[in-house]
Chains A and B, each alone.
Chain A
Amino acid sequence: QKEVEQNSGPLSVPEGAIASLNCTYSDRGSQSFFWYRQYSGKSPELIMFIYSNGDKEDGRFTAQLNKASQYVSLLIRDSQPSDSATYLCAVTGGSYIPTFGRGTSLIVHP
């Protein structure tokens, strides 16, 4: 059974700080890693994907992947109240079917 684990939170950070969200996965054959943002009452929205070890930056977001340690993280710099949402980690292996974590709730307070 492939598993993706996330701390449910909530993770509370002040506005302007760096929010760090973490995800671990059990399947060593995992190949692609995704971060989704889900606002309350809305559907998930893909914000980043990564498939190589190291960092990938997109604006205020940085995804970090460490396959040896089987974790992937998402850093949000200069956090804004509008970043308050649940962040879902998803992992795919040889198949195209993603396994989702249950999400981490992020609260950015002014």
Chain B
Amino acid sequence: DVKVTQSSRYLVKRTGEKVFLECVQDMDHENMFWYRQDPGLGLRLIYFSYDVKMKEKGDIPEGYSVSREKKERFSLILESASTNQTSMYLCASAGANEQFFGPGTRLTVL
């Protein structure tokens, strides 16, 4: 019954490393999203994609990039990880009147 999966639940990286977070959905949704969630700040949209190879910046895209080569897969890339990118990262996939979240990746950058 799993709908959205993320590559890792917990990840620890060092400052300056390149980090890949992957998300896969099995609902044939066109729309996919990457959020980060921090205490007191709520969910903040990093990037979204409405079709293969299409992407749009969200509210906080700085320091991140994304890739969507296949409809079911949406990847978030931290080009050079920094300590202020320590957070919970949530992927979501959306259709009409529904949005499903993956389990999240808790990333710690040391």
Contacts and interface: CB of A to CB of B under 8 A. Distances in A.
B8 to A, nearest CB: 14
A13 B14 CA distance: 43
Contacts of A90: 99
B103 A102 contact: no
A25 to B, nearest CB: 14
Decide if the interface of chain B is mainly helix, strand, loop or mixed.
strand
Interface residues of B, number: 19
Given A43-B90, A96-B50, A102-B42, A32 B97 contact: yes
A94 to B, nearest CB: 13
Nearest to B41: A102
A68 interface: no
Nearest to B35: A100
Which residue, of A42, A88, A97, has the highest number of chain B Cβ atoms within 10 A?
A97
Contacts of B33: 97
Contacts of B101: 43-45
A48 to B, nearest CB: 10
A44 B33 CA distance: 13
B101 to A, nearest CB: 4
B84 to A, nearest CB: 19
Nearest to B95: A96
Nearest to A102: B42
A97 B47 CA distance: 11
A103 B48 CA distance: 22
Interface of A: 32, 34, 42-46, 49, 51, 88, 90, 96-98, 100-103
Closest 6 CB pairs of A and B: A102-B42, A43-B101, A100-B43, A43-B104, A49-B97, A44-B101
